[in-house]
Amino acid sequence: MPDALRSRLASGQAVVTAEIGPPRGADPAAIGAAAGPLRGWVDAVNVTDGPGGSARMSSLAASALALAAGVEPVMQLTCRDRNRIALQADLLGAAALGIRNVLLMTGDHPRSGDHPQARPVFDLDGVQLVQAARGMRDHGRLLSGRALASAPDWLIGAVADPFAPAARLAAKVAAGAEFVQTQYVFDVPRFARWLAEARDLGLDQRCAILAGVGPVRSIRALEHLAASVPGVRIPATLARRLRGVPAGQVAAEGLRICADTIQQLLQLPGVRGIHLMAPGFAHGVPEILDLAGMAHAH
């Protein structure tokens, strides 16, 4: 259905979003192949923008292809590679192509990606980009002050670090973010403390908080997440649970842990849904949702 994410948020029911990465190539069928298994299982699918500072098909083109494949996209847009002119141009292009959800963020530095010699732009940051998008949508004006011939109508999202002070989320909500997706949550009690801080600031009433989750399918992935991904905290109990099963059962145990985490998170007051990140494993999202008791809920 059109505007499935907006409608689901308005209904008060639990929201589920997932994520796909555009291909390192120009094959349009790759988007349908990645997004197709998610159809009917999630409300919308994030299309990442140069994830990790890597060169891939543009999120704008890939989002349009996802829409054509019958999957509602959330177009991610980062400030890393574009100045304010290009950012606003891509936002208007997205609206013209029928892309109704955007997720706006500062972005990873190029030094972390496959073109470390690339010059970063960062003309705006994520908060300023959210402000710009709200001005374009709500007031029909560009950052320059010039009027738009027609105003876009996106649902505007941002990202949140659930282990940073909630005041950082407050700045994004003040700028106009209507939903946020958090970094991976593995430590539910710690996340619950951050969420309580956000509730005390009234942020859950002004912005839909979607808790980030994902399966840890190998010990190598566990070690990478613990050592290299900012904002991720792996509790010792989870690590012991993964290390305590035979090597051939780690992936399945990782899916069960993810499903358990989803169930715990949806019980927390202030959580409006989940954002399920499974890089290279989007086809496994239905199994995880099934294990979590959310089969065919969307």
pLDDT digits (tens, 9 = 90+) for 37-87: 999 999 999 999 999 899 999 999 999 999 999 999 999 999 999 999 999
- Can you give the pLDDT at residue 229? 79
Beta bridge partners of 46: 19, 74
**Number of neighbouring beta carbons within 10 Å of residue 62:** 26
Reported pTM: 0.95
CA 253-257-261 angle, 5° bins = 170
Report the pLDDT value the prediction gives residue 20, as an integer from 0 to 100: 96
81 part of a folded domain:
yes
Residues 6+ apart with CB under 8 A from 27: none
Q: What is the mean pLDDT of residues 133-159?
A: 97
Q: Tell whether 228 is covered by a domain.
A: no
Q: Is residue 277 part of a domain?
A: no
Structural domain that includes position 131: 4-210
Cα 193 to Cα 130: distance, rounded to the nearest angstrom: 26
- For 136-146, what is the mean pLDDT? 98
pLDDT for position 297: 53
Does 1 score more than 90 pLDDT?
no
Is residue 187 assigned to a domain? yes
250-265 and 236-243 helices cross at what angle (nearest 10)?
150
Instruction: Specify the pLDDT at position 112.
Output: 84
- Mean pLDDT over each residue of the chain, to the nearest integer: 94
Closest to 49 in 3D by CA, of 13, 72, 74: 74
**Residues 285 and 37 sit within 8 Å (Cβ to Cβ):** yes
Residue 8 maps to a domain: yes
Backbone phi, psi, residue 140, to 5°: 65, 35
* pLDDT, mean of residues 88-104: 98
pLDDT band at 227 (very low <50, low <70, confident <90, very high): confident
Domain assignment of residue 267, yes or no: no
Q: pLDDT, tens digit, for every residue of 189-210?
A: 999 999 999 999 999 999 999 9
Whether 274 maps to a domain, the answer reads no
pLDDT of residue 267: 97
What is the separation of C-alpha 128 from the centre of its chain, rounded to a whole number of angstroms?
A: 18
Domain count for the chain, please give it.
1
User: Is residue 226 very low, low, confident or very high in pLDDT (cuts 50, 70, 90)?
Assistant: confident
Distance CA 230, CA 232 (A): 6
Q: Is the pLDDT of residue 231 over 80?
A: no
Asked if the model's pLDDT at residue 21 lies above 90, the reply is yes
Question: What is the pLDDT at residue 2?
Answer: 67
Q: How far apart are CA 15 and CA 172, in angstroms?
A: 20
The span from the CA of 174 to the CA of 104, in Å, is: 14
The pLDDT assigned to 75 comes to 98
Q: Is 31's pLDDT higher than 70? A: yes
Q: Residue 202: give its domain's CATH number.
A: 3.20.20.220
Q: Is residue 220 in some structural domain? A: no
pLDDT at 50: 92
The DSSP code for 234 is: -
Region of 100 on the Ramachandran plot (φ > 0 left; ψ -120 to 50 alpha; else beta)? alpha
